[in-house]
Amino acid sequence: MTTDKGAIFRALHQPGNPFILANVWDAGSAKMLTALGAQALATTSAGHAFTLGRADMGRVSRDEALSHAADIVAATGLPVSGDLENGYGSAPETVAETVRLAAEAGLAGCSIEDTALPDAAPYDFKLAVERIKAAAAAARALNRDFVLVARADGILNGQYDIEEALRRLHAFQDAGADCLYAPIPKKTADLARICREISAPVNALAAGPTYTALTRADYAKMGVARISLGSALARVTHQAILDAARPFLDEGDFSGLADAANGGAIDRMLGG
């Protein structure tokens, strides 16, 4: 049996039999999701930014993101994928170096998006493809397996339509990406179309009203190979803060704290 986390991670990617990639934001959430039975974990750029008191979208440096990723890797025996935004630079060689550093941090894979952060605009098509080609070459040059995910974020960011997303996904696949990802297509039929037209495994994001209403079986029928949570679970914890804190700060009502998780159960998950 292989001990290569990248190879273990790759084997989970089965179109029509999706696994749930649980995005975590600190060592504690990593340990909890591991204890609850997750098969693999991923970082979340937004969730990590929140822990630093920052907004999302390009406000965390590469060094910070990779140090954070190494902390998550150290907290679990599961494969961990890194949400590495746009690779922390526009140039293809910068993205390639990010992939090499991600492997050094112990990650089993990473995702690279086509957004010219901190703006929402996408990279020019040709540059976007060159960036993934460089990332794929860096991944293949490693001495172990590494799953590279190429993201087409223009639908999510309101920058392009499904046709342009598919054009980019096809090109990213041809450039060597192992898994393809266009977050939150406007219609579930568009996600099903992506799965039909792309031969590589496809990641779907379970976030927002349309896609959280689907079950794992629904995603499987469409041919999805992987279901990630993005920052959704982290945002659930922030909603819990809002729901509990507003009553006690505004009205002196502490009843919302009665639903707190059992401390002993959490301690056991964290190894205490």
Summarize pLDDT for 1-44 with one digit per residue, the tens.
788 999 999 999 999 999 999 999 999 999 999 999 999 999 99
Summarize pLDDT for 67-110 with one digit per residue, the tens.
999 999 999 999 999 999 999 999 999 999 999 999 999 999 99
Query: So what's the pLDDT on residue 57?
Result: 80
How far is the first Cα of the chain from the last one, in angstroms, to the nearest whole number? Answer: 30
Confidence of residue 56 (pLDDT cuts 50, 70, 90): confident
Q: Which CATH class is domain 5-236?
A: alpha beta
Query: So what's the pLDDT on residue 41?
Result: 98
- Domain ranges for the chain, please list them: 5-236
Number of residues in the chain:
272
Q: The pTM is what?
A: 0.95
Summarize pLDDT for 166-184 with one digit per residue, the tens.
999 999 999 999 999 999 9
Confidence of residue 66 (pLDDT cuts 50, 70, 90): very high
Residue 270 — left, alpha, or beta (φ > 0 → left; ψ -120 to 50 → alpha)?
alpha
Summarize pLDDT for 98-137 with one digit per residue, the tens.
999 999 999 999 999 999 999 999 999 999 999 999 999 9
Report percent pLDDT > 70 for the chain.
100
pLDDT higher than threshold 80 for residue 145? yes
